[in-house]
């Protein structure tokens, strides 16, 4: 018996504690022409398999109730290592398919990894990065309401080449799912395809899997279970998706690019609905999982990647790349690269600046044209002029770093620290030869080469720099209240 539904029949998220998932991720992906496992290729900054597991978790199926079927050798080890890096070691269950004997065999080898007492099993494929949690929930809800032993997600394609066809009789009843390689010319003309994404009654599945016949190519197809259920008079349900593409696998580099474009459009739409302005979504590249606050403006050709968080009322771009960075509220980043940096509120950067891992910029600080910072802190209100370099440095509040100043932190063997205290004035072209400490309110003349510590409020000039007296004004304010300003620890 057949029961059909459209996405309009959507139900609530999965809540069944007896529910488990099996994710098939053992495929070699030969058509990708790659040395790497297909499921580890990236879409929107994340591996294909990551997207699948994230959708399952969002739909209510936790890692502890998800079994991932992998192959053997280095590809399998790479998949295991990646999953543990994303979600933590020991959370997901793994099963190994020693030989590629088909999808039915892959699910069968996962039986021992499925938690005891499972009543419903959802089978997903590790190469479907477009699969959404809402679709998972709809399929599960329809399966529960239909009372079927098997529920399939299906849909229509203009070009169904490469996919299994749903063969129905004159009354619209499903008779079988036929793989393209086994289909007749008449069957290949059918546009309704099977996505492979499906749900089973667990007891029925384990009873019938060993009986799946061997196909001419030596494999056992999971799709054969639909015909077996029909012949036995068991109920089979289908959920017809408006866009079946989301449940279909990525098998080629071209399909990978198409999935990338679809996911980027989804992400852009979600951000705009949340109050973010995208000047040109088509040239904005934002990874999955990126957080952006409302009223932020992202200009053309801007990339947000990795574990990045952006606050509210910022302006990023154009031509800006931000990776694994945290940007506070009301910051401006123009045509610059941030990689592993943290900006407090109201920081301005660029154009053409490069903030490397370990960079911290305090509130209302500024990094100017062509400047670079690495493993350093720039205190609140401090300003770094154009074409400067800070490496392994700690800069206090309200410090002026003149154009072309450089911390000479590497002696050819080791890196050394530089410390510049609050209110100091570093003249243009100053070379600070680390390790060195410039005291609060001190001043260095243009072109000075500082090889020794500078006393607070002292003036030093020359090569090597030497003291010539005291500054004529007191050190800039800002020493007190460091904790309240959120300064880094000294």
In this structure, the answer to whether residues 172 and 32 fall within a common structural domain is yes
End-to-end CA distance of the chain: 72
Instruction: Report which of 11, 25, 117 is spatially closest to residue 64, judged by C-alpha positions.
Output: 117
Residues 189 and 304 in one domain: no
Domain count, the chain: 2
The CATH number of whichever domain residue 12 belongs to comes to 3.90.550.10
List beta partners, residue 121.
Answer: 20, 200
CA nearest to 7, candidates 236, 200, 239: 239
> Are 234 and 204 within 8 A, CB to CB?
yes
In a domain, 262, yes or no: no
pLDDT of residue 181: 83
C-alpha–C-alpha distance, residues 373 and 378, integer Å: 9
What does the block give as tokens for 335?
A: 């045509």
Domain boundary (212, 230, 253) is at 253
**Non-local CB neighbours of 457 within 8 Å, separated by 6+ positions:** 439, 440, 441, 442, 470, 471, 474, 475
One domain, residues 227 and 355: no
Residues that are catalytic = 386
Task: For residues 376 and 311, state if they share a domain.
Answer: yes
Asked, as a colleague might, if the bond just before 478 is cis with ω within 30 of 0, I would say no
Same domain (yes/no): 165, 305: no
Same-domain check for residues 249 and 273: no
Q: Is the domain of 232 the same as that of 283?
A: no
> Is there a domain that residue 259 lies in?
no
Model confidence over 140-196: pLDDT tens digits? 999 999 999 999 999 999 988 888 899 988 877 788 888 888 888 999 999 999 898
Residue 336 lies in a domain: yes
The verdict on 277 and 218 lying in the same domain is: no
Which one of 190, 224, 253 terminates a domain?
A: 253
Do 369 and 435 belong to one domain?
yes
**Contacts with 77 (C-beta within 8 Å, 6 or more apart), sequence order:** none
By DSSP bridging, strand 466-470 and strand 458-461 are: antiparallel
Give per-residue pLDDT as tens, 324-337: 999 999 999 999 99
Based on the fold, state whether residues 154 and 274 are members of the same structural domain.
Answer: no
201 and 285 housed in the same domain: no
- What tokens appear for 400 in the block? 């002026």
Which among 201, 222, 253 is the end of a domain? 253
Check: CB of residue 363 under 8 Å from CB of residue 346: yes
Q: Is residue 189 part of a domain?
A: yes
Asked if 370 and 389 count as a contact pair (C-beta separation under 8 A), the reply is no
Instruction: Please report the pLDDT score of residue 4 as a whole number.
Output: 42
* pTM exceeds 0.75 for this model: yes
What pLDDT is recorded for position 17?
A: 58
**What are the pLDDT tens digits along the chain (490 aa)?**
334 443 443 333 444 559 999 999 998 778 888 899 999 999 999 999 999 999 999 999 999 999 999 999 999 999 999 999 999 999 999 999 999 899 999 999 999 999 999 999 999 999 999 999 999 999 999 999 999 999 999 999 998 888 889 998 887 778 888 888 888 899 999 999 989 899 999 999 999 999 999 988 888 999 899 989 998 999 999 999 999 999 988 999 999 999 999 999 999 999 999 999 999 999 999 999 999 999 999 999 999 999 999 999 999 999 999 999 999 999 999 999 999 999 999 999 999 999 999 999 999 999 999 999 999 999 999 999 899 999 999 999 999 999 999 999 999 999 999 999 999 999 999 999 999 999 999 999 999 999 999 999 999 999 999 999 998 765 444 444 443 344 554 4
Domain that holds residue 390: 268-485
| pLDDT tens digits for range 221-235 | 998 999 899 989 999
Tell whether 164 is covered by a domain: yes
Token pair of 460 as six digits:
């030093």
280 lies in the same domain as 428: yes
């Amino acid at each position: 018996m057949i029961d059909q539904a459209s996405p309009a029949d959507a139900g609530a998220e999965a809540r069944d504690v007896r529910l488990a998932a099996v994710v098939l991720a053992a495929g070699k992906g030969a058509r990708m022409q790659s040395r790497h496992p297909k499921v580890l290729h990236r879409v929107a900054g994340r591996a294909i398999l990551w997207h699948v597991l994230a959708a399952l978790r969002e739909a209510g199926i936790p890692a502890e109730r998800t079994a991932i079927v992998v192959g053997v050798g280095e590809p399998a080890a790479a998949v295991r290592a990646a999953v543990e890096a994303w979600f933590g070691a020991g959370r997901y269950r793994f099963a190994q398919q020693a030989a590629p004997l088909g999808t039915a065999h892959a699910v069968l080898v996962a039986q021992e990894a499925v938690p005891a007492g499972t009543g419903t099993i959802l089978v997903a494929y590790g190469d479907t990065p477009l699969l959404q949690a809402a679709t998972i929930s709809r399929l599960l809800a329809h399966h529960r309401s239909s009372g079927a032993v098997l529920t399939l997600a299906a849909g229509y394609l203009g070009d169904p080449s490469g996919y299994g066809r749903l063969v129905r009789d004159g009354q619209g009843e499903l008779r079988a799912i036929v793989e393209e390689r086994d289909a007749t010319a008449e069957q290949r003309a059918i546009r309704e395809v099977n996505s492979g994404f499906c749900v089973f009654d667990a007891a029925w599945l384990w009873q019938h899997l060993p009986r799946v016949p061997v196909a001419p190519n030596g494999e056992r197809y999971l799709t054969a279970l639909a015909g077996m259920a029909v012949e036995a008079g068991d109920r089979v349900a289908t959920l017809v998706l408006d866009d079946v593409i989301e449940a279909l696998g990525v098998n080629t580099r071209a399909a990978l690019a198409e999935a990338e474009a679809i996911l980027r459009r989804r992400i852009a739409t979600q951000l705009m609905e949340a109050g973010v302005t995208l000047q040109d979504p088509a040239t904005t590249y934002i990874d999955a999982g990126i957080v952006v606050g409302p009223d932020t403006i992202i200009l053309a050709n801007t990339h947000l990647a990795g574990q990045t968080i952006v606050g509210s009322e910022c302006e990023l771009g154009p031509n800006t790349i931000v990776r694994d960075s945290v940007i506070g509220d009301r910051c401006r980043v123009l045509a610059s690269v941030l990689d592993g940096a943290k900006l407090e509120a109201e920081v301005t950067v660029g154009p053409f600046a490069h903030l490397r891992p370990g960079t911290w910029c305090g509130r209302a600080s500024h990094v100017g044209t062509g400047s670079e910072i690495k493993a350093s802190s720039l205190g609140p209100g401090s300003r770094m002029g154009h074409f400067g370099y800070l490496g392994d440095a700690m800069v206090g509040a309200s410090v002026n770093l003149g154009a072309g100043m450089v911390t000479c932190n590497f002696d050819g063997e080791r890196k050394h620290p530089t410390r510049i205290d609050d209110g100091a004035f570093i003249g243009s072209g100053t070379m600070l030869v680390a390790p060195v400490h410039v005291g609060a309110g001190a001043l260095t003349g243009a072109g000075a080469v500082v090889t020794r510590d500078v006393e607070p409020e002292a003036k030093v000039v020359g090569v090597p720099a030497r003291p010539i007296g005291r500054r004529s004004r007191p050190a800039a304010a800002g020493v007190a209240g460091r904790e309240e300003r959120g300064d880094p620890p000294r």
